[in-house]
Copies of this chain bind each other. A is one copy, B any other.
Amino acid sequence: MVTIKEIADLANVSTTTVSNVIHGKTEKMAPATRDRITKILKEKNYVMNMGARLIACNNSRLIGVIINNPSTEDKNALQDPYVSELFGAMERQIRQKGYYMLTYIAEQEQSLTGHLDNIVKTAQSWKTDGLVILGVDSQESEFLLEALDIPLVFIDNFSSHPHCLNVGIEDEEGGYLITRHLLENGHRKICFLADRKDPIDVDAARLAGHKRALREYHLPFSTQDIFAIPRERISRQKTFEDLYKKLHRYTALFFSSDYYASDAMHFFQAKGLNIPEDISITGFDDNYFSQIVTPPITTIHQDITEKGRAAVEKLIAVIEGRPVTETRTILPVRLVPRSSVKKMI
């Protein structure tokens, strides 16, 4: 590969001058010199050595896209359609803005902060210009904010840390819309199903929306009506068995994700139940398969592609020193009624 030095020799100029035309600092340069160098650069097929650039100046044009994958799931993180659509959208924006994407997925570690240390190390090693981070909770995001002095943008993070730049959606509103829809259809006994019995982050917000709708209808809420769904397939089946026994208590199941909703739907259909006649089911996110499943699932739509694009755009704005008006970007959601909810009235 040809170097700046070689180009400089060919053009009878210094490396400074070549470097200047490469970076477009050509205002006070003789146009003739500029054109001559540009031509040679093209002819010789010059490609920047990013390693040299990385060590000589302080930006790498690398953006790290980090997933913290808490899952003990048999699947890999990208098999979640939410994650993969987000990834694809971020890649496109990163590339189109002239940056490079370094992908890092942190998996479960023995030590408590091992996965975070790996993220920090990777970012430092490569002197990434910034990071988009997915799947860390408030505490973890604050740890990273302390440990790293580059711009970070989080997705779906609920930290109140003043420097925590975030892109998220109206989770509370989404939870409200789903439950109001169920109530409007005459449902009064609704079960809320999420990752944990005491939901955090997005699930907590969705639950808050659920409660708000119940309050509007003067309906009581009990934590007994929250079910935790294990990520791991086998224990999830057990949970569904358990739920199946208690199903007489409910007329509708509010799942915090389409994936769980469709998984549960299959489980109950295999048990011989009809959806929505025997039990109504709702999801969240409007994944592709909430549409292709039978019956298609009533859910909350969010624009995942826009979310990924917005996160990268915000990150690059900070990197390039442009003013960022909102630390928290909240994208709208909307209800998508389909056929998995029975009209009770």
Q: Which residues of A pack against B, CB within 8 Å?
A: 1, 47-55, 60, 65, 75-79, 81, 83-85, 87-89, 91-92, 95, 100-105, 107, 121-122, 124-127, 262, 266, 288-289, 292-294, 305
Q: How far is the CB of A73 from chain B (nearest CB, A)?
A: 11
B residues in contact with A55, CB < 8 Å:
49, 51-52, 55
Contact B91 A49 (CB under 8 A): no
Is B105 touching A104 in the complex (CB atoms < 8 A)?
no
Which residues of the other chain, B, contact A262 by a CB distance below 8 angstroms? 292
* A91 and B105 contacting across the interface, CB-CB below 8 Å: yes
Q: Tell me how many chains of this kind the complex includes.
A: 2
CB <8 Å contact, A85 and B95: no
Q: Which residue in B77, B92, B288 is a CB contact (below 8 Å) of A105?
A: B92
B288 to A125, Cβ gap below 8 A? no
Minimum CB–CB distance from A127 to chain B (whole Å) comes to 6
Residue of B nearest to A54 (CB): B51
Q: Are A77 and B88 in contact (CB under 8 A)?
A: yes
Given A50-B125, A125-B49: A95 and B105 interface contact (C-beta under 8 Å): yes
* Residues from chain B with Cβ under 8 Å of A101 in the complex: 102-104
In the complex, what's the smallest C-beta–C-beta distance from A309 to chain B, in angstroms?
Answer: 10
When A79-B288, A81-B81, A85-B76 are in contact, do A126 and B50 touch as well, CB less than 8 Å? yes
Residue of B nearest to A85 (CB): B79
Beyond A49-B125, A95-B104, A293-B294, list 16 extra A-B contacts (CB 8 Å).
Answer: A47-B124, A49-B55, A49-B127, A51-B54, A51-B60, A76-B85, A76-B88, A81-B81, A81-B84, A87-B87, A88-B105, A91-B103, A92-B105, A92-B107, A100-B102, A294-B294
Identity of the chain B residue whose Cβ is nearest the Cβ of A83 in the assembled complex: B84
Closest B residue to A64 by beta carbon equals B100
Q: What B residues does A121 contact at CB under 8 A?
A: 47
Asked whether A126 lies within 8 Å of B104 as measured between CB atoms, the reply is no
The reply to whether A78 and B102 contact each other, CB–CB distance below 8 Å, is: no
Cβ–Cβ < 8 Å partners of A126 in chain B? 50-51, 100
In the bound assembly, the distance between CA atoms of A100 and B104 in angstroms comes to 8
Give every chain B residue within 8 A of A292 (Cβ-Cβ). 262, 266, 289, 292-293
Complex Cα distance, B58 from A49, in Å, reads: 12
- Indicate if the CB atoms of B105 and A103 lie closer than 8 Å: no
CA distance A79 to B80 in the complex (A): 10
Complex formed: what's the CA distance from A76 to B94 in Å? 14
- Contact status A89-B76, CB under 8 Å: yes
Query: Which of A88, A92, A101 counts the most B-chain CB atoms under 10 A from its CB?
Result: A88
CB distance from A88 to the nearest CB of B (A): 3
Among A53, A78, A127, the most chain B Cβ lie within 10 Å of the Cβ of A78
